Structure 1
Amino acid sequence: MDLLDPILTHHIVNSLGWRSLRPLQEEAIGPLLSGQDAVLLAPTAGGKTEAAAFPLLTRAQRHGWKGTGILYVTPLKALLNNLHPRLETYAGWVGRTAELWHGDIASSRRRRILSQRPDLLLTTPESLEAMLVSANVDHRTFFSGVHSVVVDEVHAFAGDDRGWHLLAVLERLQKIVERPVQRVGLSATVGNPHELLDWLQGSGKGRRPGQVIAPGVALPQAEGMQSVASVSVPPGDIELDFVGSVANAATVIAALHRGEKRLVFCETRRTVEELGEQLRLRGVTTFLSHASLSTDERRRAEEAFAEARDCVIVSTSTLELGIDVGDLDRVIQLEAPATVASFLQRLGRTGRRPGTLRNCLFLALTDAGFLSAAALLLAWSRGWVEPVTAPPEPRHLIAQQLLALCLQEHRVGENLWQEWWGGLGPFGAGAETVVRHLVEQGYLERDGGTLFIGPEAERRFGHRHFMNLTASFTAPPEFTVLSGRTEIGRTDPDLLTEEVEGPRKLLLAGRSWLVTYIDWRRRRCFVEPVDEGGRAKWSGFGPDRVRSFTLARAAREVLLGTDPPVLLTRRGEAKLAEARESHLDVVHPAGTVISRRGDDDVRWWTWAGHRANATLAASLPSVVLCHRFVDDRFIRLRDDVTRESWHTAVADAGTGLTLPDVDIRAVRGLKFAEALPQRLAQATLAARLADEAGARAALAEPVRFVSFP
C-alpha cells in the first residue's frame, strides 16, 4: 500500500477497516500507476473496482490531473447506479468528485456536470457517443483531461457489437485528447485473457504492451487453451434436478431453503414473470428484475431484496453482472444459461460470507434444458470457459460510426476520416465500400473534399437529435404499461393486438393487470390490477441461445455415459437415464451418425453446435434437405442420400466450406443494416453464423450409418 496516495491508504485502513489489500489489488498498483493498459481478472466480488480505482486516483493526485481524468464505463445503467456511491466515496477521500452520466440523469444535473467537470465520470458507451455528437456538449473541452478509461465487465462488451462500438468511440476520444488513453478492463470470467487485452487496446496506436493481472487464476499457457477465471467449487455445492414446469419449480423453491435469501436466474423475461406469479401464489416474498420492468420498479425490487432475509428475487441476466443485491445465501438456475461464463458470474453471487460455500441449484423445465445443464456442468467441471471473441466484420457499425463522426465534427475530410480510428481493424481499406454506399444512398453528402450528414440520414436517424444513432443494438418496439401515472414496465405489442376471449390481461412485475385503454399513437397501455389470468410475452432478437461446438460435444459425452460431477436428485438421475436411452442410437464415441427412420427422415447427428451445423448445411447442398433447418445436434438430409453420394459431397466440401445461408428477414435484426448494401449486410450475418473449425472437425470424423423401422 506504500505506493498509494497516503490519504487513500489512511482511509483503506481506518474507514474500510482493511488490514491489507487483496492480491489483485496489490499487483495492479504498479502497472496502473505507470500508465500501463491492463486486464484485471478475479472472481465476482474479488475487489476489481478497488484494484482499478485506488491506483488511478493516486495517479490523478500525483500528476495533478485537472477536469475529468478517469472514465468508468459499464454495460448497464443499473451497474453504474450501484457503483456510484462507492466510487464517489473513494474519490471524496482525496478531494475529488465522481458523477453519473446516462440516459436517466436529469438535464439539470447534466448541466451541472458540464459546468463543473467531475474527476471521475461513470457512463455507458452509448452516453459517451451521445456526448460526442451533442450540440450541447463542448466535447473537446469536456474530455480534454481524460487520461484513463476503466471498462467494467469487459467480456460483456467484447463478445458483441457493443464492444466494437466502444473501441471505435475510444479511438475517437483518443484523437480528441491527442494522447494515448490508458485502458483498464475488469472481468470475472474469460477463457482468453491475453487476446482480450489485445482487443481492448484497439488500434494499438501509441500504446505500450499491456498486462494481464490475475493472481490465483490459472491462465492458459498455450494458444487455444481456455481457463476459468474463478475459484474451483467443490462438486457437492452444485445440484441438478428435473422439475418439468414453472409451477413445479415454484413448489420446489417455496419448500426449500426457507429463511434464506435466494436469487433465481431465468433465461427469458416471460419465465421470470410466470415464476414470480407462482411464487407469490405460494406465499413467498418475491421480487422481480428484468429489462422490460420500469427503472423504478427494478430499483424498488433490488433495494427491498437487499434489505430482506426470507425472500426470493427472480431475474434474467440483468443481475448477472456486478450489481450488489446484498448478501445472498443461494443461487437457483432455471434451465441452463447459454455459456459457462454466465454460470460462473451467477455462481459468484454466493459464498461471499466467511464459512459459506458457493452453490447453485439447477431446476430443468424441459428434456432439452436438462441435457444442456448437464453438458454445461461437465464442461465447467473441467475448467473450460468460452473464449471471448469479437463478432467478425462489423460493417454496419462502420456505417454508424461514419455518420456519428460527421455529426460530431460537422464536416470530415473524405480522405482523412480513417485517421479518427487510428487503423482499428474494421476501418481499413474495406470500409471504402461502405463510404461509397452511404454517399450514393444520400446518408452522406460530399462537397469540397468533405463528407457531411445527408438527407437520408436525417430522415432515418434524425428523430430526437439523432438519439437512435448512438446505440449499436436494435430494441424491439414495446408499449409502456401504466397504472394511473405509475409506469410498471413495457410489453410486447402482440399481446395488445392478438385476439382474446374475454378481458385482455397482462402479466408484468409478477402481477396480473386488466387492460383498460390503449393509446396506439403514443404506444402506451393503461391497466388496473386484477387477481390473476395475465399473460407475459416478449419477442425480438434477444441473446444468442445456441450451443457452441464444445457444449454440444459435452452433451454427447453425457449421453455416452460421462456424468457431470455434481449432485443429481432422484428425479435428475431418472431423467439422465431416460435421455441416454432415448439417444442410444444417435451418439457414437468414434464419430458422427447418419440415421434413417422410415422413408423420409434422414438426419446427420453431428453434435457440433448450431454454427458448425449451419456451416455444414451450406457446404453440402447435394445431400442436405434444407439449409436453414439445423440445430445444435443434427442436420436434416435428403431422403435419397446414399453412402456414395454422401462421400462425394464430403469430398467436394473438403475443398472449401461455404458460409451459412442468411434469410433476408434476419437482416432486420442488424442495426444500421439499411445503411449497407444488402449483400454486405447478409455477408456480415453469414460470417457471424459460421463455425468453420467446428465444421471441419465434424467432417473429419468417421460416419456410422444406422436405420430404424
Structure 2
Amino acid sequence: MIDPRLNQKLVDLFSYRYRWQSLREIQSKTIPPVLDGKNLLLIAGTASGKTEAVMIPVVNRLLELSAGLKCIYFAPLKSLINDVASRLELILRPFGMVVGKWHGDLTKSEKFSTAKEASILVTTPESVEGIFLSENIDLLSKIEFVIIDEVHAFIDSPRGAQLASLMERIKILSGIDQQRIAMSATVGNPELLMEWLSGSSNRESEIVTDDSKSKRTIEVLTEGEISPAEYLARLLEETDDKILLFSYSRAKAEDFAASAKALGLAIPVHHSSVSKSLRVEIEEEFKRDKKLRAIVATSTLEMGIDIGDIDRVIFLEIPPSAASFLQRAGRAGRKKNKSTISVFIEDPQSLYNLLGILDMLEEGSVELLKPSSFHLPLLGHQLIGLTKTAGSLCKEDLTVLKRAFPFRQIGSADFEIVLDHLVKESFLARRGNAITSGAATAEMIGSGKEKMDFVVLFPGGFDYSVIFNGHEIGKIHPAVLSTSSDDEVSFLLGGRSFLVKEVSPARKTVHVVLGDSGKPPSWFGSSSLMTKEFARAIKSSLAEIKIPDGVVLSQDASQTLLDFIDNHRASSISISLRNSRKSVIIETFAGDMSNIFLSLCIKAVSGIKKISSSWHSVIVKDGIDIDELHEMLLAISRMEENEIKGILSTYLRENPNELKKLYELLGEKLDRFVPQQLLVKYVIHRFFDSLLLKELSEAVMVTDADS
C-alpha cells in the first residue's frame, strides 16, 4: 500500500516513467518513518532499491519547501557521487529541481553553476569542510536533510569521524535539527551506528532492515585446476553471463588482464589508479554494450555504482573481511534474486581468508564497526574550523559539537588541554574572554596546498600522473620508475603495456608510449587490517570447519582445504606460546590491531625490541626464555587498566618514532592539533584491547607434541 501522504505527482512519476506497479517491501517499510521525520538507518543489499526508498519521501518533503539547497547527500567515492547524481536527476528533473555535485575532480565553475541552483548536493566530507572555509558557506545555512550513502565505508575511518562532526556543524550554522538518514548494505552492529548517526539530534530514530534473501551459490576453485583467465574464457564461451571480477589489489587486477590478453581476451581494468575518464568509459560501455561481458576491478566497483545487471562475480583474491566479501558478492543477481559467485584459492592467506568467510557465512555475521568516541586530534581540528566559521567559540556551539559521537568520551580536562595547545600553536587566539582564530589558521587556510591538507584528513599519495597521447590515463608510484640499469622501463596499467619515455619529478608526471611487455606495478597504499572477529572466525574454522548451504567446493579445492586444515589445526586455547628456533611465537588469532597492542605491551613492560606481529601471532625474537615470557604475560594480565595505560604512555612518550608509526597506522594526519601527551592518550585508546589482556591469564605453553 502506498502511503497516502505521498504527493500524487511523485507516485505518478514512478508508476508511469519507471513502470512500478507497486513499491518493493523495503520501500514500503522505509517511506513512513522518513515521512514521520525520524532519523533512519536503512540496511539493505546492493541494488535493493534503498536509494529510491529514501529519496521518494525526501523529495516529497522538498516539494513542500521553498527553493534552495535543502539536502546534503554524502557518498564515499567520486565515481559514486557521479552515479548517484545522475540517478537523482531523473527523479528531480520533472519537478524542476536540480541536483548538484561537488568533489575534487570538478572545476570551481562546475561546482558553483549547479550548487547555487540545487535542492540536493551530492558530495564528500572533505568538500563540505572546504565549503565551511569558503565564501559559499551560506549554501549550508538552510539544510533540512543529511543523507549518507554506504555509511559503513565512512564510519570507523578519519573521514567518518569528520563526517559525524560536520553534521553537528551544519546544525550549529543552520539552527535546524536536520533529519539524518544513512544507508548501508552490511552492518554488524546497527544500534551503535544509529547512535553515531544521531549525535546531538533530538529526533526519534528507527532502524529498517531488508529481510528478503537472495539465493546465492558460491563455487570454490583452485588455480591449480584451472587458471582464472582460462575459467573466464570458458564462461564467456559457454554462457551469456555478464561477469565482474574482483581482485584485492591493483597489481593483481593488472596481472589478470595481462593473462587474459594472452588468451585473446581484452578485459578492461577498473581501479583507482586508472584515470577517472577511462573508468567512466568502462562503466558506461559495460552497462550498454552487450559485447563487453567482463571487467576486472578492485574496491572501486564494490559499492553501488550502476554498471547494469551482473550475473556472476569472480573473486581472484579473497578479502580478509566478511563485510567486503558480501558487499562485492552482492553486485550479482539483482534482477533474478539469484547470484553465482566463483572464488579462487591459491596461497595460504587465501585459504585462511576463505575459512574466515565460511565461518562468518555459517554464523550469519559480519565484522563490527568501531568508531572512536575519544577522537582528541579531530577535536582540535574541528575547533579550528568551528572558530573560523563562527568568528569565535561560544558555549552553546561547543555543547552541540561535543555531542558528536567522536567527542562523547572527551572530558573537560582534556578539552582544556586541547584548547591551550591550539592557542599556544597560534591556531586559536585568546582576546579577552573570547576565543578567535589565530595567525597560524589564517596562514593555513590561505594557501591551496595547506588548505587542502586541512580539509582532507587522510594522507595523500606520492603517485605520478601517467600521460599518454597528451591525456592522463592513471597514476603510478615513482618507485616503479627507478632502475639501476640503463634498461627501458615498462609497466602495465589498465590492462595495457606502456614504455616510459620521459619522467618529470617536479611535475610528478611520466610520459609514456605503447609497449609490448611489462610487469604490473606495485602501489604502496595501505592494506586493510584484519579484525579480531575475522581472525577468530578463521581459528574457529581451523578447529571445526562448517560448509554453509550454497557453498560448493571443487574436488581439488576440497582436498586443498582439508590438507591445509590438517597442517594448521587450531586448538581451543585462546592464547598459546611455543618455541620456534631462537624465537617464541605467541599465537592469538586476535587480528592486526590487537596483536600490535600486545607487542606494544611486551615492549613497554620488558624493554624487548625485536618483536613482530601479524594478524594471527606475535613473534618475540630477543632470545627470551619461553617460561619467562609466559610469566610476563600473566603479570600483564593481572595489571589494572590504568597501570598498563600508564606504562604504555611512558613508553610512547620516550619513543616518539614508535608513537608516530602507530598513529600513521590509523590512517590520519591530525597529530599537530594536539600536544604529545594527548596524542599518546588517543593512540593507546585506539589500540587498547582489554579482552585480550584478560585472555593472557589463560595463556598456555605448548610443546611440539602438544601442537
Match among 508, 513, 533 for residue 518 of structure 2 = 533
Name the structure 1 match of 2:39. 37
Q: Give per-residue Cα distances to partners, 1:460-509, cap 9 Å, x unaligned.
A: 98335712221121122211110131111111121223435500123211
Measure, in 1, the Cα distance between the counterparts of 2:629 and 2:456.
48
Query: Would you say 1:239 and 2:237 are equivalent positions?
Result: no
User: Superposition pairs for residues 39-118 of structure 1, below 5 Å?
Assistant: 39-61=41-63, 63-115=64-116, 117-118=117-118
CA contact (8 A) 1:284 1:311 kept: no
Q: Give per-residue Cα distances to partners, 1:532-554, cap 9 Å, x unaligned.
A: 124412114x242x322222222
Aligned residue identity for 2:38:
Q
Deviation at 1:384, TM superposition (A): 0.7
CA contact (8 A) 1:392 1:688 kept: no
Query: Would you say 1:664 and 2:647 are equivalent positions?
Result: no
State the SS of the aligned residue for 1:346. Answer: helix
CA contact (8 A) 1:242 1:370 kept: no
The 1:281–1:79 alpha-carbon spacing in structure 2 relative to 1, beyond 3 Å, is same
Match among 340, 343, 349 for residue 362 of structure 1 = 343
The 1:80–1:250 alpha-carbon spacing in structure 2 relative to 1, beyond 3 Å, is same
State the SS of the aligned residue for 1:254. Answer: helix
Match among 443, 447, 459 for residue 427 of structure 2 = 443
Aligned residue identity for 2:14:
I
Match among 15, 26, 29 for residue 28 of structure 2 = 26
Measure, in 2, the Cα distance between the counterparts of 1:391 and 1:243.
40
Measure, in 2, the Cα distance between the counterparts of 1:656 and 1:422.
29
The 1:479–1:426 alpha-carbon spacing in structure 2 relative to 1, beyond 3 Å, is same
Measure, in 1, the Cα distance between the counterparts of 2:269 and 2:346.
19
Measure, in 2, the Cα distance between the counterparts of 1:643 and 1:54.
65
Measure, in 2, the Cα distance between the counterparts of 1:216 and 1:642.
51
Name the structure 2 match of 1:383. 364
User: Superposition pairs for residues 575-594 of structure 1, below 5 Å?
Assistant: 575-584=560-569, 587-594=570-577
Deviation at 1:127, TM superposition (A): 1.4
Measure, in 2, the Cα distance between the counterparts of 1:706 and 1:501.
53
Aligned residue identity for 2:522:
K
The 1:706–1:127 alpha-carbon spacing in structure 2 relative to 1, beyond 3 Å, is same
Deviation at 1:165, TM superposition (A): 0.6
Structure 1 range deviating more: 51-60 or 567-576 = 567-576
Task: Give % identity.
Answer: 28
The 1:670–1:648 alpha-carbon spacing in structure 2 relative to 1, beyond 3 Å, is closer
Name the structure 2 match of 1:252. 231
Measure, in 2, the Cα distance between the counterparts of 1:421 and 1:624.
41
Measure, in 2, the Cα distance between the counterparts of 1:464 and 1:597.
50
CA contact (8 A) 2:377 2:671 kept: yes
Deviation at 1:191, TM superposition (A): 1.2
CA contact (8 A) 2:388 2:436 kept: no
Aligned residue identity for 1:424:
A
The 1:556–1:108 alpha-carbon spacing in structure 2 relative to 1, beyond 3 Å, is closer
Match among 639, 642, 650 for residue 634 of structure 2 = 650
Deviation at 1:686, TM superposition (A): 3.5
Q: Normalising by the residue count of structure 1, what TM-score does the alignment of the two structures yield?
A: 0.89
Measure, in 2, the Cα distance between the counterparts of 1:277 and 1:80.
30
Name the structure 2 match of 1:523. 508
Aligned residue identity for 1:650:
L
Q: Normalising by the residue count of structure 2, what TM-score does the alignment of the two structures yield?
A: 0.89
Aligned residue identity for 1:364:
I
Name the structure 1 match of 2:655. none
Name the structure 2 match of 1:208. 203
Measure, in 2, the Cα distance between the counterparts of 1:465 and 1:644.
50
CA contact (8 A) 1:492 1:537 kept: yes
Name the structure 1 match of 2:178. 181
Name the structure 1 match of 2:682. 684
Name the structure 1 match of 2:122. 122
Name the structure 2 match of 1:336. 318
Q: Give per-residue Cα distances to partners, 1:574-630, cap 9 Å, x unaligned.
A: 32133123224xx213544322244x2321222222223233333445689657411
Structure 1 range deviating more: 676-685 or 117-126 = 676-685
Match among 544, 569, 579 for residue 596 of structure 1 = 579
Q: Give per-residue Cα distances to partners, 1:641-681, cap 9 Å, x unaligned.
A: 35476246414422235467745344455212233323433
State the SS of the aligned residue for 1:155. Answer: helix
CA contact (8 A) 1:506 1:536 kept: yes
Deviation at 1:184, TM superposition (A): 0.6
Measure, in 1, the Cα distance between the counterparts of 2:381 and 2:66.
33
Q: Give per-residue Cα distances to partners, 1:42-77, cap 9 Å, x unaligned.
A: 11111111111111111222x333311222111111
The 1:112–1:634 alpha-carbon spacing in structure 2 relative to 1, beyond 3 Å, is closer
Aligned residue identity for 1:664:
K
Give the RMSD, CA atoms, in angstroms.
Answer: 2.7
Unaligned runs of 5+ in 1: 218-230
Aligned residue identity for 2:28:
E
State the SS of the aligned residue for 1:507. Answer: strand
Deviation at 1:89, TM superposition (A): 1.6
Deviation at 1:381, TM superposition (A): 2.1
Measure, in 2, the Cα distance between the counterparts of 1:50 and 1:5.
15
State the SS of the aligned residue for 1:145. Answer: coil
Aligned residue identity for 1:692:
S
Query: Would you say 1:194 and 2:191 are equivalent positions?
Result: yes
Aligned residue identity for 2:228:
A
Deviation at 1:435, TM superposition (A): 2.4
Measure, in 1, the Cα distance between the counterparts of 2:256 and 2:532.
31
Measure, in 1, the Cα distance between the counterparts of 2:406 and 2:356.
35
Name the structure 2 match of 1:227. none
Measure, in 1, the Cα distance between the counterparts of 2:632 and 2:663.
33
Name the structure 2 match of 1:148. 145
Measure, in 2, the Cα distance between the counterparts of 1:695 and 1:279.
49
The 1:581–1:536 alpha-carbon spacing in structure 2 relative to 1, beyond 3 Å, is same
Structure 1 range deviating more: 415-424 or 265-274 = 415-424
Measure, in 2, the Cα distance between the counterparts of 1:287 and 1:689.
40
The 1:461–1:348 alpha-carbon spacing in structure 2 relative to 1, beyond 3 Å, is farther
State the SS of the aligned residue for 1:19. Answer: coil
